[in-house]
Structures are given as structure tokens and as C-alpha cells.
Amino acid sequence: MKPSLSHSLAVLVACSTFGAAHAAFGDPDPTFAPAPFAPPTYCDRGIGATGDATMYMGVRGLGVRGQSNGVTKLRKDGSVDTAWGQDGSATMPGIPEHGGGSMSPTGFLATPDGGVIVVGIRLVQLTRAGLRDAAYGVDGVSDPIDQAGFAHSFALQPDGSVVVFAAGHNGGPVGAFTRITPSGRRDPSFGNGGVVSIDLTNREVYSWSVSGHQVEYATHPPYAVGAPPLQLHAASPSSGRIVANYGAAAWTSPNVQVQPDGRMILAAATCDSSTCKTPTVSVIRYNSDGSLDTEFGEQGMRSVTPFTAAQLYRPGVYPRMLSLGQGGSTTVILHGSQTSGGFFPVFWYAADHAFRLTADGSLDSAFPQSKQLAVGQVVRYLQIDDGRLIHIPGSAQCPQRLTSDALRMNVPIVEYRSPVSGRYFITAEGLESGILDGNVGTDRWVRTGWRFGGWLAFDLPGAKRVCRFALDAGDGSYSHFYSIEGPECDFLLDLDARTPSNQPAWRFEGHAFSATEPANGECPRNLTPVYRVYNRGFEQGSISNHRYTADTATYAAMLAQGWAAEGVKFCVPPVSDPVSG
């Protein structure tokens, strides 16, 4: 299947480069014009995307009387996929916790078989065709997640289990992790009856991870005066990390980015005093041990606000999303509002704005600072792999797409396995993974459920590009090999150039993604080591294949099967959530 893969890699690079060079940031995208929903139907909070940019979106007003919540599937151009579900939509079931009313979708998780799990106060599993999967839970509906509050964040484990973190019930100080098994039932072996509860008194969670029965999470206090202190609540010795260690299920806030050297950038709402009359959004850079990086901005932070001094009457600001750009720049989207106060506040002003900082934390003079992206109470943003933003304005005119001059640098690297050849393959989530999810070609690749973080193969200080090579197996299929820029990659490039085209060799296909090079087998703090194992194909007279994994148990299992250990080859970041809170 090499021709399709190498072509899609080239197209992805070309399209990303074109978009970054020719688009402005935050303008309405004229190529995206979804038909508006007919009243009483309108957009709800939930939004999510698959690898090929297909989108799932929560909607309200479905059904004969317009009283049901549900899901609509959209094509990448914003049009409704009418072949899915019932004319493009699937109605959510009645939920006892809602007094029998239908569940409101909070988010979505794409499954390896092309289906989708709808996340709310329960999980609803839908098939590739948009029908409820009767084999899951009870008629496609899971056991309830813990009622600590709304589904704050969630992650899919490789075995098909889902971990949901809920918080915010009536402003309470309790959060809870619930693990739902692939059959739709609470996992009784996890915590107390499938639930692990945590104390959130004066804490906001910005990173969490679940490994087996252990939960690890990182927090900072909300609306701190100055830079908020960070705390990792670790399941095991943390080695000074300030983001949760890699696990089978993991989540990192859209307001967090980890750089190639292990330093962390956080966008947070901060205060100028204990009374917090003039809150602002601060972009803060921490060293890998959690101390402030005083070389960034003004003593470690840069504060931004859409308001002038004359406008500071009952202002409210909070960050929506922080993205890492080429050259180490950062772009932050924040929401600003002014209200009359009181029990039923009247909004005088509400809008989202964008700011961009250079690598040292200065305001980027080439960017139109405080650019207004949307007016009103925008519900949520989704950043797709080419950097463009899908936003939900909470009306019938939805969704909308905004252009971008910046790529989404932080991307998941997803693993596939061919049940035909038994070989493994990895690629950045996006165009290529969308092709593979169609399960086409000789090898018929299938997701294993494992993934790790990475950056796109563009200019990012401290990162190196990962070279990708393909070897013709002689039967129409290919094996792939990955090596970070350096002696090993150079050797294979030279061998490729010297080997006649009619002879087998590892052929260079391009740069698949970027990572940090380990030093003596060690990664900077807050980055995750990726291990490589080899199937000993050459010595056994078969096609060589390598597997790349960030999971130490998987690494050990492959060694037990006779694969050769090759140690740590990349260091990668956590994957930041592409959907704003």
C-alpha cells in the first residue's frame, strides 16, 4: 500500500505549507458553508473530529416535536452526511438522570471500527452507520458515570474501555474518574465500584493519566495572584514532572503545551490582587521542574486582555485554547465578557479574541493582537490538523470555520497493525490516518488503539524531524521504518541513493513528524520515551518490521515474543486536547 501512503504524506505536507503561507488567522473560511439547521434545531456543546476531518456535533431540537438531543455527522466541508443515522443525525436516548429526557452530548470518541462513542452523563455507542450498538451496555447505553458533575474530559483506552473525568456538580469540590468497560459497564476493579474520586478544593485539573488502577493528575489553583503554582498528584514517584505520566488513557488541557526541551506553557486566568477585580489571561512558561522560566515574557509570564482600563467594569476573562506554532510561537484564544453583575447578570459584551507571542514571550508585532474571532457566547472550538478552527456559536447558523496561518503543531501519532502481514505502522493523525481508517489496500491496516504525542515535521526549536522509509515486501505490501534525523537516517538516505531502483532497499518517503532526540537513552522531564523493538526479520529470512511504543508493558510483551530491544528512540509530548473547554 506504499503508493497511497507516500502520496498522502506528501499531500499533507503540501497542503499544510500552503495553508500556513496564504491564510490569515481567524477570518471566516469561504470554503466552509454548512447549511443552517432549521428551527427548532440548533447546535449544542459537543464537537469532535476523526482523522479524516469528519465531524460529530451535538444538536438540540431533534425529533417530531423538537424535544430531543442528538448527534449530527458532518463532512469536512460542513455539509451533513445524510447517509449516516437518520438523514445525518442520531437521537440520544432518554436518561433517568435527566428525568427521562434525552442526553446532551458533551464530546465524542472515534472507535477503531469506524463507530463513535458519544460522551455525556452516560456513554452511547453508535456504529459506523450511525445506529445504536445494541451489544453495548443496555441497548447501546452504558452504566452512568459518577455524578460529580459534567464530563470534563475523557480518553479511550487501547482495550476499548473509556475513562471519563467529571467535575463541577453544583460548584462542588469533588471530581471523579469513571472507567467504563468495552461492554458498557462500570469496571468494578477500578477504584470503588468503577470510580476514583479526588479532592478539587481550590484546584483545576490540567493533565491526567490512568495506568491500570492508578490515577495521576496535575492541578493549579484557579485565579491565582500571579503565576499559579503547579502540583502533580502522582500514583508513583514522579521524578519532578509537572504533567501526568503516560498511561493507557490520558488527557492534557487545550490550554497546555509542552515544548521539545520539557518546559511547559500554560494559559490561565490570573488576578492582580486577592480581590481579583481585574482578572486577565496570562501565558506562563515553567521550567521542566515547575519553577518559573524568568526569561519568558515579564519574569516568566505575559498577561493579555481585550479590555482597556476604561472598560474594566465587572470584566471576566478565561482562556479557551493555547497552540504552539512554528519557531516556538504561541497563540492564545481567550473569552472576555462584561456583565451587570447580580444573580441574573446581563451581558454588555462577550467575545473571543486571539493574541500571539513570540518564542521569548513578547507580543508578536506581525500579528493583529486582540483580534476578535467571534461575538457572543461561543460554545466551543475544535482545532483540526491544518490549524483551522471550527467553532460552535450556539445557534442555528453552525458550525463555522475560521482560517489559520499556523499549523496545529501538536498531533497524535497513531499505531496501526495489518492482520494480513502482522506488521506495525505509525502516522500522524490526519489525512493519512483517514485513508487507512477506510481499511483499503493490500495490508488492510487496523488501529491498535495505542497512540503517543508528536509535533508536525516543521520548524520547532529543539525538535528534530523523524525520517520515514518503506521497504517493498514483494507482494504489494510494504514495511516502514522510522529514525530521527542523525547518523542512522543519513546512512539509510545514502543507501537509498546508492541502491538501483530495481533492487530492494529502504526508500525514503519523507518526514513523518518531529520529536526530541533522547540523550543517552533518557528524555527531558515531561516528555515520554518511545521505545523501538525489531522482529529480527533479516536473520529469520522474512521482511523486517519495527514497532514503536510508549507503553513499557507493551515493550516488555514484544520482547517476550522474541522481538529485539532497541531502546528509546524518540521523546514526545503529551497530546493536548484539540477541543476547547
Mean pLDDT by 10 residues, the chain (581 residues): 46 45 81 76 79 81 78 88 92 75 85 87 93 94 84 91 85 88 96 93 94 92 94 85 91 96 96 83 97 96 81 75 93 85 64 95 96 81 88 74 89 93 92 79 81 92 97 87 97 96 93 96 96 95 95 96 97 91 71
| Residues 374, 350: Cα–Cα separation, whole Å | 9
Residue 381, C-alpha cell as written in the block: 472550538
CB environment 30-62: b (16+ within 10 A), e (fewer): eebebeebeeebbbbbbbbbbbbbbbbbbbbbb
* 505 in a structural domain: yes
What is each CA distance from 77 to 10, 53, 81, 492, in whole angstroms? 22, 9, 10, 40
Q: In residues, how long is the chain?
A: 581
240 belongs to a structural domain: no
Residues 6+ apart with CB under 8 A from 290: 229, 230, 240, 242
Indicate the pairing of strand 224-225 with strand 264-271: parallel
By CB neighbour count within 10 A (0-12 exposed, 13-18 middle, 19+ buried), where does 461 fall? exposed
Is 421 part of any domain? yes
First to last CA, the chain: 39
Whether the bond into 3 is cis, omega within 30 of 0: no
- Please state, in angstroms and rounded to a whole number, the distance separating the CA atoms of residues 417 and 437: 12
Residue 169's pLDDT is: 62
Task: List the one residue out of 48, 49, 46 whose CA is nearest residue 60.
Answer: 46
The radius of gyration of the chain's CA atoms, rounded to the nearest angstrom, is 24
**pTM, rounded to two decimals:** 0.92
Closest alpha carbon to 142 in 126, 157, 153: 126
Positive or negative, the CA dihedral 485, 487, 492, 494 is positive
Whether residue 488 is contained in a domain is answered as yes
The region, left, alpha or beta by phi > 0 then psi within -120 to 50, assigned to residue 85 is left
- Residue 241 within a domain: no
- Residue at 431: amino acid letter: L
What burial letters (b/e) apply to 84-117, b meaning 16+ CB within 10 Å? Answer: bbeebbbbbbebeebeeebbbbbbbbbbbeebbb
d(CA 357, CA 337): 22
Q: What is the pLDDT of residue 17?
A: 43
pLDDT of residue 440: 59
For residues 390 and 382, the answer to whether their CB atoms sit within 8 Å is: yes
What pLDDT shows up at residue 51?
Answer: 66
Query: Cβ atoms within 10 A of the Cβ of 316, count?
Result: 16
In a domain, 506, yes or no: yes
Q: What pLDDT shows up at residue 266?
A: 98
The pLDDT score that the predictor gives to residue 98 is 62
Q: For position 32, what pLDDT does the model report?
A: 87
Domain that holds residue 568: 410-572
Residue 330 CA to residue 29 CA, distance in Å, equals 22
Q: Print burial letters for 371-386: b (CB count within 10 Å at least 16), e (below 16).
A: bebbeeebbbbbbbbb
**495 inside domain:** yes
Is residue 10 classed as helix, strand or coil in its secondary structure? helix
196: which strand partners? 177
Number of domains in the chain: 1
Asked, for residue 48, whether it belongs to a domain, the answer is: no
d(CA 539, CA 550): 26
Tell me the β-bridge partners of 548: 532
Q: Which three cell numbers stand for residue 503?
A: 533492487
